[in-house]
Structure formats: structure tokens, C-alpha cells
Amino acid sequence: MNYIDQYLRDNYFIFKGKHIKGKLYMFIFYQYICFKNILWKIFKFKFKTQKFKNITFHFDNFYAFFALFNEIFIYNIYYFESSIDNPVIVDCWGNIGISVIYFKYLYPKSIIHCYEPDRETFKILEKNIKSNNLANVKIYNKAVSWSNWELEFYSFWDMEWWTWNTLEKSQVNFSNINNYKVEVVKLSDIWLKHINLLKIDIEWSEWKVFKDIDKSFINNIDRIILEYHYDEKISDNKLSDIISVLENNNFHILININSFVTFYAYYSDFLRWNNKYVLMLNAFRNK
């Protein structure tokens, strides 16, 4: 997608999106960060913080911040409605904490457990939590995974345009990679009395983690927002398996293409994306 198409689509969504608070403010703020993004791309300005209302975002890569802010705060990919003002949220993985800040933006009294395995990313996550004085947020420098043992972790921290990390070795196709062992926790071992929202964005390992969920655990979850990553090279991460578990546990499912990437997708897009795509699964129970 070229930059002009992205720019026009983002502005359209700011005014047409249902869940954006203060559309005019968001429109002006978006123009401002677009300008900073141009400065970063052309002149390599090293921006490390960004104010938004009473929030201060810390980051290492401005383009990564720009993209994350757009998909989370403008496209509201993690929006959910809660009947209580202090929902319990489990965030797997939390990256630099923009999703955590967004959940606190929606529900200031929410109780959040956030897992992020990358060492450098975790430091920025911690800074974002502390600098914004976010209460009732617990963060863990661990990967949510399918094992109780340490696993090899691959971090693409030094990429110019993005920071990326995964437990899937098949996705390791860059030269500037850091790999090391990380602590892990199985999803079903996160014992909480009740979870109002389980958010999962774990880069091609969705089914490996999801198949570990037992019925007693999933019965305590009201809603699941899962970012599903398809790659034809990975045979054990089938969307149908994930859907089967959700349906067998009485969840209704909405499936969308990640709207930050595109409003719609065709076979030509699938080829352009090297036989990969990202879907957003929103699973919920009837009230």
C-alpha cells in the first residue's frame, strides 16, 4: 500500500470510526505525527517520546510507534465493551505497552496482567507503565507459550522500520537477529478467578498456545481478541483449529482482516504478502 492511500484511509477512519474519542483532536494529532513520521523517514530524526493528551509514550522506533498507535487508537482493533468499570485483562504479548495504555484509556480502573518476552521491549513497556502512573498493572518479562520450559526466542530489535519478535524459527529470515532463552508460562497456568478480556498477539504461535487451554480455564473468559498470523510454511497454526476450540466452548466469532493493513483483501494481496496474512478474531459469549 502506498503512503497516500494509507494517509487518506486513516483520515477517513478517524471521522467514520465508531469508537474514537474526540475526532477533531485525533485528526489534528494524526497530522502532527504524520509530519514527524516524514521527518523520521527523510532526515532520520530520532524521536523517543510522544505526548497524547495526558499520556506520554516512550519508544525506540518512531515508525513502529506510529503504526501501533494507528491500529490501536485510530482503528481500535482492541476495543471491547465491559459491563463493569474494572475489567480484568490479560495481554499476551504487550510489546511496548501501547495496548496496555489503550485499555487504561478505555477503562481507567481496569486490572491488567501483561506478558512481554523481549528484553529490550520489556524495558520500554516498564517505562511506559511507570511514567504514566498506571495503577493495577502487573507486567511479566515472560513469553506466554505451550511449555513450562525456557524456549529459544528470536528478536529483530535492530530493524530500521520495525521491531519484531517470535518463538517461530521458520520466521527467522533476517540477518540482524538476536536469539536467547526466555522464561515462559503456559496460558492455562495464568490462574485468575475471572478474565473479562484475553488479548493474544504472539506472532505465528497462536494454535500452539491456544490448544493448551483447558475447559475450566476458558470458561472463566468473557471475551478473546486474537491476532491470527497465517503462513503456509507453518502447518501447526491452522485457523480452523482455533475456531473449533472457540465454537466448542460456546463463543461467537467475528473475523476481520486487520483494518490498519487494508479494509479488504484479494488473492493478489495474498501473493503480494508472500503467502501470509493477518486476521483479527473477536470471540465473545452472548450476554
pLDDT, residue 147, reads: 80
Cell of 207: 494454535
8 A C-beta contact, residue 150 and residue 167: no
Q: pLDDT digits over 114-163, tens only?
A: 999 999 999 999 999 999 999 999 999 999 988 888 888 888 755 454 56
pLDDT tops 90 at residue 272: no
Give the global pTM: 0.93
Q: How far does the chain reach from its first CA to its final CA, in angstroms? A: 39
8 A C-beta contact, residue 213 and residue 187: yes
pLDDT tops 70 at residue 181: yes
Q: What's the pLDDT band for 86 if we cut at 50, 70, 90?
A: very high
H-helix or E-strand containing 58? strand 55-58
Q: Are strands 49-52 and 276-284 parallel, antiparallel or unpaired?
A: unpaired
User: What ranges do the domains of the chain cover?
Assistant: 80-284
pLDDT tops 70 at residue 18: yes
Question: What does CATH list as the number for 80-284?
Answer: 3.40.50.150
Distance CA 22, CA 53 (A): 11
Q: What's the pLDDT band for 198 if we cut at 50, 70, 90?
A: very high
> Which residue would you say has higher pLDDT here, 204 or 10?
10
pLDDT, residue 16, reads: 92
Q: pLDDT digits over 205-215, tens only?
A: 888 888 878 88
> Which residue would you say has higher pLDDT here, 5 or 251?
251
Region 227-236: mean pLDDT is 84
H-helix or E-strand containing 43? helix 23-43
Q: What's the pLDDT band for 194 if we cut at 50, 70, 90?
A: very high
pLDDT tops 90 at residue 172: no
pLDDT, residue 165, reads: 79
Distance CA 138, CA 124 (A): 14
- CB half-sphere exposure, 233, CA atoms < 13 A: 10
Residue 70: helix, strand or coil by DSSP?
helix
Region 228-255: mean pLDDT is 90
> Which residue would you say has higher pLDDT here, 24 or 154?
24
pLDDT, residue 228, reads: 92
Distance CA 96, CA 126 (A): 8
Region 43-48: mean pLDDT is 92
pLDDT tops 70 at residue 27: yes
Cell of 128: 511506559
> Which residue would you say has higher pLDDT here, 44 or 225?
225
Residue 151: helix, strand or coil by DSSP?
strand
Alpha carbon distances (Å) from 42 to 18, 35, 75, 162: 34, 11, 26, 16
pLDDT tops 80 at residue 287: no
What interhelical angle do 98-106 and 119-131 show, nearest 10?
30
Region 68-96: mean pLDDT is 95
**Mean pLDDT (the chain, rounded):** 89
